[in-house]
Structure 1
Amino acid sequence: MLPVTGPGPEEGPLPGLDGLVPPQRAAGAVCTAYVLLEAIISPLLSIPVPARLRYRSREPYTVYLDSHIDLPEPVTWALSREILLGGLTAPTGLGDVSVFPGTGGEADSVFVSLRGRDTTALLRARADVLHAFLRWTACVVPPGLESEHFDVDTLLGRLREKDDG
Structure 2
Amino acid sequence: MTAPGQEHNHFGGSERAPITLLTTLHLLSGPPESSTINCTLSYDPNDPYVIRLELLIAEDMRVTWVVGRDLLYAGTEGLSGDGDFKVWPSRGGYHHSTLYLQLKRPNSVATFATNLRAVRHWLQDTYTLVPHGTESALLDWAALAQSLLPPA
Bin for the TM-score computed over the shorter chain: 0.7 to 0.9
Q: Secondary structure at the match of 2:127?
A: helix
Judge conservation of contact 1:101–1:109 (CA < 8 Å) in 2: yes
Pair 1:122 & 2:111 matched: yes
- Report the equivalent of 1:137: 126
CA RMSD of aligned residues (A): 2.6
Kindly provide the amino acid, as one letter, of the partner of residue 27 in structure 2: A
Compute the displacement of 1:50 (Å): 0.5
Q: What TM-score do you get using the length of structure 2 for normalisation?
A: 0.78
- Output the amino acid matched with 1:138: Y
8 Å contact 2:41–2:54 — kept in the other structure? yes
Say whether the 8 Å CA contact 2:14–2:138 is kept in structure 1: no
Higher relative contact order (CA 8 A, sep 6+): 1
More strand by share: 2
Q: Which moved more, 1:150-159 or 1:31-40?
A: 150-159
Q: What is the distance in 2 between the residues matched to 1:33 and 1:54?
A: 7
CA distance in 1, matches of 2:146, 2:110: 34
Change (3 A) 1:31 1:154: farther
> In the alignment, is the contact (CA less than 8 A) between 2:79 and 2:86 conserved in 1?
yes
Aligned to 1:164: 151
| Counterpart contact for 1:50–1:68, Cα < 8 Å | yes
Distance 1:153 1:118 in 2: 40
